[in-house]
Amino acid sequence: MTNQFDFIIVGAGSAGCALASRLSEDPQNRVLVLEFGGTDAGPFIQMPAALSYPMNMSLYDWGFESEPEPHLDGRRLATPRGKVIGGSSSINGMVYVRGHACDFDTWEEMGAAGWGYRHVLPYYKRMETSHGGQDGWRGTNGPMHIQRGSKWNPLFRAFKDAGEQAGYGVTEDYNGERQEGFADMEMTVHKGRRWSAANAYLKPALNRGNLDLIKGALVRKVIIKNGRATGVEFEVGGEIQIAHATREVVLSASAINSPKILMQSGIGPADHLSELGIDVVADRPGVGSNLQDHLELYLQQACTQPITLYKHWNLISKAVIGAQWLFFKNGLGASNQFESCAFIRSKAGVKYPDIQYHFLPFAVRYDGKAAAEGHGFQAHVGPMRSKSRGRIRLTSNDPRSKPSILFNYMSHEEDWEDFRTCIRLTREIFGQEAFAPYRGKEIQPGDHVQTDKDLNAFIKEHVESAYHPSCTCKMGAKDDPLAVVDPECRVIGVDGLRVADSSIFPQITNGNLNGPSLMVGEKASDHILGKTPLSASNQEPWINPAWETSQR
């Protein structure tokens, strides 16, 4: 194999797989993808219902965790990131959310020119094949298959009905014209299998003769000569190698690893790099700063009827479900079980939803560890736009060292107010008539937890990351001192180097991040290839007409 390529992509995650596919469509382009992880073969990744396994397996996960979080009594929170082809799209919960239209218009206001909703909507359409989405708003022949669940359990319906009874709207497609309301949740599953970025983009593209993938490659740094990225130094099998890029190097290594590799390459806050003995190539103080994430709570209610997934929480049932999936790719194993959801506003005066719900007909932790005492159901709920900001820093100049990750969660008083609101609004929803046939006692937090003080104590102890780290290589105007890349994803101050993944978001989007990360890969590919961007859309998204005076 040659060590000379037109393009080198670091990271075979959501954006990286999309880039690899688009950049290699022209047979003249030689493209190399470097991925530290290995194969995604096997049922733990490919079977949707097994989602709690891969993110807790060191084989597939980088194993990052936060520093002791000062506002959460020093708790260290797990920060899983995919270390496998497909990246985090191979270990995530498979929930598909584009984000709200206003998210992208906000990006544009923050300096990401050309990334407003009207600009990104055509890329969402290009990448999707939507099964059951709203006509005219969704893609119909893209590589990413998006589907809805079978809604086999009556609790999925009860959640939507309860939302309606509580005075919220219902939307036919939260990824279409209207996000706000209660809805059927969408998942990246196709023909019963997890439809990761690897399955959708990378594997088909690897059949082309001009795309190479090296697995087990730990990237040490980007090689920069005379202000231009010329290649990548990486280690594979204990041997250090160099691959040369005649056109561009693109980092798509995650919101944790993209800033880490930039700093290892001499691009970042000059004082921090100098302390570690790293030669400064470009002083970009924004590298690794602006870290954002979503936090969530699991609010759990006992179920008086034996209809939840708890009845399958035993070896015999798991074996039957696994066998059905293995042979037929259907049954309970073919769903992530997040089949109902909601996006609502926390109060009047909030223009677009700032609270997200995932509903699950089971009371269990995301990591599969703490099965509840019996039949129950739960809502994962959290605010979408915390003002808290964290940072990524290197711990040494050794590329093998894990970075220091501090989210600085719950550092604003508003965060606590928002979470208390989430709990109280959820209790109101669970208290509706639709849940009357099923509603037992409140398992968590428990009826005795009512005062602000008690709610704060519960939040502090139980809040968990939704695993949406982002925004650490912020996209913005070239004269923004904290911007890392310009609106064409080019690293400011270095030629021939781009970043394209969730790290370039100026602000975290409303919902899960796999969809927007894929979109970034799609749109960045056109910028890299010098293509005219897709024509802007003139479709107008729905905004609640009473948003200024009403919460619902």
24 assigned binding-site residue: yes
Q: Report yes or no: 67 and 87 within 8 Å, Cβ to Cβ.
A: no
d(C-alpha 104, C-alpha 516), whole Å? 10
493 assigned binding-site residue: no
28 assigned binding-site residue: yes
Q: How many CB atoms lie within 10 A of CB 44?
A: 20
229 assigned binding-site residue: no
For 35, 208, 438, the CA distances from 13, given in Å and listed in that order, are 9, 19, 40
Determine the straight-line distance between the first and last CA of the chain, rounded to whole angstroms: 60
d(C-alpha 142, C-alpha 412), whole Å? 41
485 assigned binding-site residue: no
26 assigned binding-site residue: yes
468 annotated active-site: yes
Helix, strand or coil, per DSSP, at residue 2:
coil
30 assigned binding-site residue: yes
Q: Where are the beta strands (DSSP E) in 188-266?
A: 189-190, 193-194, 211-215, 218-225, 228-236, 239-251
Q: Of 422, 447, 249, 446, which Cα lies nearest the Cα of 346? A: 422
d(C-alpha 74, C-alpha 461), whole Å? 10
For 256, 263, 271, 393, 473, the CA distances from 275, given in Å and listed in that order, are 20, 12, 6, 12, 21
In DSSP notation, 350-408 reads --S--EEEEEESS---TTS----SSSEEEEEEEES-----EEEE-SSS-TTSPPEEE--
Q: Of 201, 95, 89, 92, which Cα lies nearest the Cα of 148? A: 95
287 assigned binding-site residue: no
Helix, strand or coil, per DSSP, at residue 172:
coil
371 assigned binding-site residue: no
284 assigned binding-site residue: no
502 assigned binding-site residue: no
Helix, strand or coil, per DSSP, at residue 332:
helix
463 assigned binding-site residue: no
d(C-alpha 52, C-alpha 57), whole Å? 9
218 assigned binding-site residue: no
Helix, strand or coil, per DSSP, at residue 205:
helix
377 assigned binding-site residue: no
84 assigned binding-site residue: yes
213 assigned binding-site residue: no
Q: Note the helical H segments in 463-551.
A: 514-529
379 assigned binding-site residue: no
Q: Name the pairing type of β-strands 181-184 and 340-344.
A: antiparallel
19 assigned binding-site residue: yes
Q: Report yes or no: 430 and 162 within 8 Å, Cβ to Cβ.
A: yes
7 assigned binding-site residue: yes
15 assigned binding-site residue: yes
206 assigned binding-site residue: no
490 assigned binding-site residue: no
524 assigned binding-site residue: no
Q: Of 476, 208, 149, which Cα lies nearest the Cα of 339? A: 149
Among residues 294, 358, 380, 468, the one annotated as catalytic is 468
Q: Of 423, 482, 248, 443, which Cα lies nearest the Cα of 362? A: 443
323 assigned binding-site residue: no
32 assigned binding-site residue: yes
The token pair that represents 542 in the structure block: 């729905």
d(C-alpha 519, C-alpha 185), whole Å? 19
- Which H or E run includes 129? strand 128-130
94 assigned binding-site residue: yes
SS3 content of the chain, % helix, strand, coil (to 5): 30, 25, 45
222 assigned binding-site residue: no
6 assigned binding-site residue: yes
Q: Which residues are tagged catalytic? A: 468
Question: What residues form the annotated binding site for FAD?
Answer: 6-35, 84, 92-95, 219
Question: What residues form the annotated binding site?
Answer: 6-35, 84, 92-95, 219
